[in-house]
Amino acid sequence: MIENYEIKAIDNIVCLPGTGILRAVIEIPEDISYLFPYINGHVSKARYLPKLPWIRFPFEGFSKKLKIKYDIACRPKQIIIGKFSSSEEAKEIIKEAIDFLNYIDSHKRDIEPNYKEWSPPSAIAILKYLPQSNCKKCGLQSCMAFAVKLSQNEVEPEKCPEITQENLENLKEIL
C-alpha cells in the first residue's frame, strides 16, 4: 500500500525538450515491484520486464475516465507519469495513479498475475510506420536509425514531424 510518496520533479520529458510536454517523477519509500505482475494481469497493453523489474502501461484514470491517455512507468521505488501540459494537471493524475496502484494492491486476490515478459517490437516492424524519406528532421541520419531508437525506448514517436496521425496511433499501439 502506498501511503507516502514524494513528487521529485515535474519537468520536460528528456526526449521531447522544448515542447512543453511534462512528466512527473514520484519516489516512494516501499518497493512496489510485487505489484507489477498484477498490473500486467489487469491492464491490457502493459509492458513488463521482470528482470529489471519495470512495467509501463497506458492509464486512462481510476476514479473517473480521463480525457486523454497517460503513460505510467514503474520501477521498484519510482513512478514516472507523462505526458502533461501543466503541473496542476500532473498533480491530479498523480493522485489518480496512486489510487489505482493501491486498488491493485488491495485486489491482488482477485487478479490473476501475469509474469510474461514483454518483447519490444523490432526496428524493422517499426520502420513500416515511418515515412522512410530519411529527411533527418528528427535529428537522426535515417528513418531506420529513428526506428532503432524507438525500439530501444530512447525517443518518442512524436519526434518525427513527418509521421501521419494514423501511423502515429499504430506505432503507439505496438511500442
Where along the sequence are the contacts to ligand SF4 (CB under 6 A)? 130-131, 133-138, 140, 142-143, 146, 160-162
Q: Note whether 49 and 117 are within 8 A (CB).
A: yes
Closest separation in Å from C-beta 45 to ligand SF4: 23
CA distance 3 to 108: 17
Closest separation in Å from C-beta 157 to ligand SF4: 9
How many residues in total does the chain contain? 175
Of residues 98 and 163, the one with the C-beta less far from ligand SF4:
163
Q: Note whether 24 and 7 are within 8 A (CB).
A: yes
CA distance 66 to 79: 19
Closest separation in Å from C-beta 134 to ligand SF4: 5
Of residues 7 and 144, the one with the C-beta less far from ligand SF4:
144
Q: Note whether 59 and 65 are within 8 A (CB).
A: no
Residue written as grid cell 533527418: 136
Of residues 85 and 133, the one with the C-beta less far from ligand SF4:
133
Closest separation in Å from C-beta 46 to ligand SF4: 26
Of residues 102 and 134, the one with the C-beta less far from ligand SF4:
134
For residue 27, give the H/E element and its range: strand 22-27
